[in-house]
Amino acid sequence: MIGYMKPFLTMIFACYVLSVIAWADDGPDLPSKFIPKTALLIPANRNVGVNWALPMKEKDNHLSDWVESRFRLDSADNVWLCKSDKALACLAKGIVFDVDRPVDDFLWLHNGDFLITSQGHLGFLTFPKKTGKTVPVAVFHPWLTLPINPARLSPAGPGGFFVWGSNPKTGKMCVYLFREVGSKKKKPIRFLFATTKKINAVGGDATHLFVAFDSLIARVQNKTVRGLLDAQAKVRDLVYQDGTGLFYSTDTGAGRLDVQHKSALEFIRSPGVNIALGTKDSLYLKLDAALGILKIDGLSYFKSRSSHPGKR
């Protein structure tokens, strides 16, 4: 579906960065350095690097928890997962805690603010001290009642974020933008867009809005929707880096979309990928097939137009 040009890219098999990526068939004795049914293509550039942020684990009984968990990075690029509707964990720090209310979504901003949506409210948590062997319970403090429930969160550039979901009164999917947390303005949230179609991913910044309807990635300008790419699989995440472009992940891989030329490069194929932008020109990938987090450095070097036009 999506191709590449040899001068810019190198196919990675079992010989790059400690053999982090390779084609491999499923098998009971699969070496931990191989990822099943996975291949990676990256620019042939010394500024681009691939490594493990969290090393992959052997398959175990917790695979379904890993696949279904929501994936976020904090302001120090630590990986956090929400494994159920109330349990959150930072794998790098070994932190696990529950929340006293169901977690619809969570997000860290660049300034370190930690946001939670729960039952139609946006708010913050206070973290208790761990006592004994019991799992500590964080307390949710509502800050703002939202017009949508449940509400999802997506980054919108430095200091901003999108809130999106279904409006129970109208039945429409709505997208809103926050540009200042704790703003004293009467209307700290700004409405951007509504649709009767189901949205499964939102990305962009204060001036760019991208949404995904199943496999279709579209740009929204002045409430007008223009299709950019049919990713051929359900889109899971959209993240935008100013000056570099739009990155997307799907049930079958992840890629970069050149919005100006409506062309795309699928740089990893793997059965189930989620992505998050790091703070230092990096992209983190949670791979369902690996039980691990892959990190790509030098994201801005993906800027070259090196792909076939996307299908719409």
55 CB contacts (<8 Å, ≥6 apart)?
32, 292
pLDDT digits (tens, 9 = 90+) for 183-195: 455 567 899 999 9
Task: Answer yes or no: are the C-beta atoms of 41 and 307 closer than 8 Å.
Answer: no
Q: Hey, how many other C-beta atoms are within 10 angstroms of the C-beta on 98? A: 16
Domain ranges of the chain: 57-292
pLDDT at 43: 81
pTM, two decimal places: 0.84
Report the C-alpha dihedral over residues 89, 122, 185, 189, rounded to 10 degrees: 100
> What are the distances in angstroms from CA 127 to CA 7, 99, 108, 114, 278?
51, 9, 15, 11, 24
Percent of the chain residues topping a pLDDT of 70:
80
Mean pLDDT of 108-116: 89
**Which is more confident, 7 or 279?**
279
DSSP state for residue 67 in the 8-state scheme = H
Tell me: pLDDT of 41 over 60.
yes
Interior/surface letters 167-202, b for 16+ CB within 10 angstroms, e for the rest? eeeeeebbbbbbbebeeeeeebbeebbebeeebbbb
Task: Answer yes or no: are the C-beta atoms of 186 and 235 closer than 8 Å.
Answer: no
pLDDT digits (tens, 9 = 90+) for 265-289: 899 999 999 999 998 899 999 998 8
**Which is more confident, 241 or 312?**
241
Burial of 14 (0-12, 13-18, 19+ CB in 10 A): middle
Pairing of strands 95-99, 137-145: parallel
CATH T-level topology, domain 57-292: Neuraminidase (2.120.10)
